[in-house]
Amino acid sequence: MTKPVRLAAALGVFLLGLLASSVSRAVPAEESPGFWSVVPHRTVVGGREAEHGALTVLVDGGAPPAGTVVFTSHKEIPHLRINLRRERETAVLVHQGDKVLFRGRLFYAPPFNSVTVPPGFEPLFFHGDEQEEPCRSCHRLEAKAGDRLPSPGPGPASMCYPCHREEFSAATYSHKTATEWQCLVCHGGETAGVDGSKYWIPAELSQEGLCLGCHKKTAAALEKHEYLHGPLAMGSCTSCHDPHGTRYKMLLHAQITDLCVDCHDLRQDMLGRPYLHKVLEKEGCVACHDAHGSARPFQLRMQPARLCVKCHPGIGATDHPVRGHPVAGGKDPRYENRPLSCVSCHDPHSSEHSSLLPDADVMMLCARCHRYGGS
């Protein structure tokens, strides 16, 4: 950016003119349309500065906080990127001269967290005819056959690379399809997606159908499962996995236990207790539960008694905690319609008491099944 352009951009941000004020008063922020952004930024492209002047932006009715707005200029065409904070509504007004380029309330939430989006907020995608129009003089925005082929290495030929290369720079683990810039394998490009975006997931494919089309081993395993993980059953693989890249193995959005408890609302109730099952610290929830599905309730990898004995081999079918006491078979006195197992006496996640027992007094635990004068 040249010095005059940089100065014009700065003036556009911090010296908010009468036009911006009048537009803001004419359309109150609460009456502006609400948009759901699936990416953490919104890009606005203006006309040539020599003809239309600098871009002016208001964020939440005033000057943008530091780091919120990034101005650049390419071939005298101003580009504005507004960085959005996750799951927070941001009112944005951008104009150039007397033309309003964007006005609305933006709410950023990744696709896997759509439940947090306020009612009435419509999905907002970049790749629509009107939004793309200012970009066409410099960028190729129509897919070619070669865009479906692998294009690894520095400066790949994919049309997506110039604008999206920064999105994967911080990823430790990357989806191979994304690493090779085969974006159109997932994002279509031959038919329109949803809500007017050309390069969103094709409308005729669910996430489940799209992902399992390549991940055939997982698809075959799921055919045998009676119990499926809720997000997968709804066709939402990205509830747990990032389809591009992330800092965590298996392309997870977070460490496995953190990811599970965020949805299962157990963070304070489970992880806040003084005694935590060691396997949660070492391996996470997937040590006992299959993250996709299982033939058993709660997506357990094995029946509870077999599962526990894998790590606690000293416990046999009887003689725990005293000689002759069974650890399986019969009815569970704590949970109706469940068989007796280790979790009849121990909480498999955490407890306020040692040995993951539900009571501090062991005799009180025994009394749940064994009444005075008999058992």
- pLDDT value at residue 195: 54
Residue 213: count of CB within 10 angstroms of its CB? 12
Pairing mode, strands 122-124 and 89-96:
unpaired
- pLDDT value at residue 83: 93
Residues 6+ apart with CB under 8 A from 242: 175, 251, 252, 253
- Average pLDDT on 67-81 reads 89
The model's confidence at residue 51, banded by pLDDT at 50, 70 and 90, is confident
What are the tens digits of pLDDT across the range 220-249? Answer: 888 889 999 988 888 788 889 988 889 999
- pLDDT value at residue 341: 86
Report the distance separating Cα 230 and Cα 299, nearest Å.
10
Query: Tokens standing for 71?
Result: 């101005």
Report the distance separating Cα 32 and Cα 126, nearest Å.
19
Report the distance separating Cα 215 and Cα 251, nearest Å.
14
Amino acid 153 reads G
Is the pLDDT at 116 greater than 50, yes or no? yes
- pLDDT value at residue 10: 39
The pTM score is 0.76
- pLDDT value at residue 318: 65
CB 357 within 8 A of CB 350: no
Share above pLDDT 70 across residues of the chain, in percent, rounded to a whole number: 83
Is the pLDDT at 180 greater than 80, yes or no? yes
Residues 6+ apart with CB under 8 A from 295: 224, 225, 226, 227
When mean pLDDT is compared over 14-28, 85-99, 192-206, 322-336, the highest value belongs to 85-99
Is the pLDDT at 47 greater than 60, yes or no? yes
Report the distance separating Cα 181 and Cα 158, nearest Å.
6
3-state secondary structure at position 270? helix
CB 293 within 8 A of CB 228: yes
- Average pLDDT on 254-267 reads 79
Share above pLDDT 90 across residues of the chain, in percent, rounded to a whole number: 22
Cα–Cα distances in angstroms (integers) from residue 268 to residues 260, 271, 358, in the given order: 13, 6, 17
What are the tens digits of pLDDT across the range 349-359? Answer: 889 998 999 88
Burial of 263 (0-12, 13-18, 19+ CB in 10 A): middle
What integer best gives the mean pLDDT of the chain?
A: 80
Q: What is the DSSP track for 110-176?
A: -GGGGGGSPTTPEEE-S-SHHHHGGGTTT---S--GGGGS---SSS---TTHHHHGGGGTT-SEE-H
